[in-house]
């Protein structure tokens, strides 16, 4: 049975129970009274008002990543694909000791992200770089090697999917041993295991990074499937040896 037999539409289909569970858990574990809640809602609204695509992470994933950073006492986190800065706000606002570097190729997205980061009061700890990931990463690598920035303890890869593996390959040498790297949109509604969707860079990029991680002695990895308010998807979690 293929995923298309279960979910009749594309991978963005939402199940009312998944959404209700997210609403229940968020209302108990991160209610609107939390200090960063209003800024996070503002970031999504401002991003939408300024025409950014509605593909940001959602609260459950944002807090999950922020808690990973807290548990690992991460000093420096990197994000590829800033979009409107939503995930960066989560990481920085939940972790006062954390500095974030975030890379975005689209100047308009980067401008909107800067507004959102300033509104959230975290712009002083989020270094937002404009450029293609494959151009900015070598610069960041030199800064880390020179001791100008701490080594990376957390990385979130959520940019152009065809470069998933290239980004991962480049960031591994910038990471501390034990650093955690997540790659977004790996399951894509089950597209991961559907050969007919290999023409979609999201699917081919997901397979390339999963298969390469499995063969790479520098890291260990596993895929976590997720359901929730956005869709059926999942992340690749990688830990640096």
* Residues at the contact surface with Mg ion, assessed by CB under 5 A: 158, 184-185
CA dihedral of 71, 215, 151, 165, whole degrees rounded to 10? -100
Sites for ligand DHB among residues 154-173 (CB under 6 A):
158
Binding partner selected for residue 94 from ligand DHB, Mg ion, none, CB under the kind-specific 5 to 8 Å limit? none
**Residue 185 binds ligand DHB (CB under 6 A):** yes
Q: Do residues 55 and 79 touch, judged by C-beta distance below 8 A? A: no
Name the minimum Å distance from CB 158 to ligand DHB.
5
Among 144, 112, 137, 118, which residue's Cα sits nearest to residue 46? 112
Name the minimum Å distance from CB 231 to ligand DHB.
7
**Residue 104 binds ligand DHB (CB under 6 A):** no
Name the minimum Å distance from CB 12 to ligand DHB.
6
Nearer to Mg ion, 47 or 144 (CB): 47
Q: Which residue is nearest to ligand DHB (CB)?
A: 55
Tell me the site size for ligand DHB, rule CB under 6 A: 4
- Any long-range contacts for 6-14 (C-beta under 8 Å, 24+ apart)? 6/190, 7/189, 7/190, 7/232, 10/189, 11/188, 11/189, 11/190, 11/191, 11/231, 11/232, 11/233, 12/189, 12/230, 12/231, 13/189, 13/231, 13/232, 14/229, 14/230, 14/231
Sites for ligand DHB among residues 4-63 (CB under 6 A):
55
Which positions lie near ligand DHB, rule CB under 6 A?
55, 158, 184-185
């Amino acid at each position: 049975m293929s995923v298309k037999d279960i979910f009749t539409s594309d991978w963005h289909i939402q199940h009312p129970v998944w959404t209700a569970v997210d609403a229940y858990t968020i209302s108990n574990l991160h209610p609107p009274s939390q200090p960063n809640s209003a800024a996070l809602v503002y970031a999504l609204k401002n991003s939408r008002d300024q025409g950014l695509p509605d593909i940001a992470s959602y609260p459950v994933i944002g807090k999950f990543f922020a808690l990973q950073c807290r548990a690992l006492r991460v000093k420096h986190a990197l994000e590829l694909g800033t979009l409107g800065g939503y995930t960066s706000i989560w990481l920085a606002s939940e972790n006062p000791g954390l500095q974030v570097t975030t890379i975005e190729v689209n100047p308009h997205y980067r401008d909107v992200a800067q507004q959102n980061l300033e509104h959230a009061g975290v712009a002083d700890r989020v270094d937002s770089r404009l450029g293609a990931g494959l151009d900015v990463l070598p610069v960041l690598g030199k800064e880390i090697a020179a001791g100008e920035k701490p080594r990376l303890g957390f990385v979130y890869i959520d940019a152009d999917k065809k470069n998933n593996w290239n980004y991962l390959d480049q960031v591994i040498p910038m990471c501390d041993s034990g650093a955690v790297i997540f790659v977004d949109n790996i399951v894509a509604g089950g597209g991961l295991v559907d050969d007919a969707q290999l023409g979609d860079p999201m699917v081919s990029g997901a397979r390339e990074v999963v298969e390469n991680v499995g063969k790479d002695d520098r890291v260990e990895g596993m895929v976590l499937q997720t359901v929730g308010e956005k869709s059926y998807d999942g992340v690749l979690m990688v830990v640096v040896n």
